[in-house]
Amino acid sequence: MKLRKPARFAGTTREMACGKIHRATVTEADLDYVGSITIDQDLLDAADIFVGQKVDIVNVNNGARLSTYTIAGERGSGVIKINGAAAHHANPGDIVIIMAYAHVQEKFAQQMEPAVVLVDEHNRILHNGNDLGQIPAKLGKKTGRRPGGKTPRSSGTSQPQATNGSGAKTGGQKASGRRGIVNWFKSRA
């Protein structure tokens, strides 16, 4: 079987990872705030992520994945605040990975070097680099990863508990499967 070469057109772009904040700790989740994620401006700068840029957020604790845009937080504060409806998918203390992308002309895509920022549990920068898939051996324990890229799995799962801005929980549990949905409705009765 002969493989067909993909068609390439002048001006073709590829969506490439351009910035990543690896294993940040969520500091707040506010349902009543108008959408987005608030990120410490120092972290945005280090990861080369612009204010207003679209990002994907992956919650390591519960597997949720969502897209939103960034808002600058106070420099040096370590803030990672999930806002609006997205707050249903994260709790303070959850570990998230924040990734930004850029459309790059195909001829430059292979040369693209993303800005990768590794942080500690207080969202302080431990390492700046450009390797999306490698954690320096000396940082393995500090980032919750083992050298070589393996992540220890936790035995428990986190159920999101969003707040209404005043700190009161709103019961933002995620219902999964038929039994989960039935139990969620029963808890509302």
Binding residues for substrate: 68, 84-86
Burial class (CB in 10 A: 0-12, 13-18, 19+), 116: buried
Establish whether 69 is a catalytic residue: yes
Establish whether 101 is a catalytic residue: no
Annotated catalytic residue: which of 33, 69, 101, 158? Answer: 69
Binding-site residues: 68, 84-86
What's 85's DSSP letter? G
Q: Determine contact, residues 82/69, Cβ cutoff 8 Å.
A: no
Q: Determine contact, residues 84/38, Cβ cutoff 8 Å.
A: no
Structure tokens at 53: 């840029």
Burial class (CB in 10 A: 0-12, 13-18, 19+), 181: exposed
Annotated catalytic residue: which of 33, 36, 67, 187? Answer: 36
Q: Which residues are catalytic?
A: 36, 69
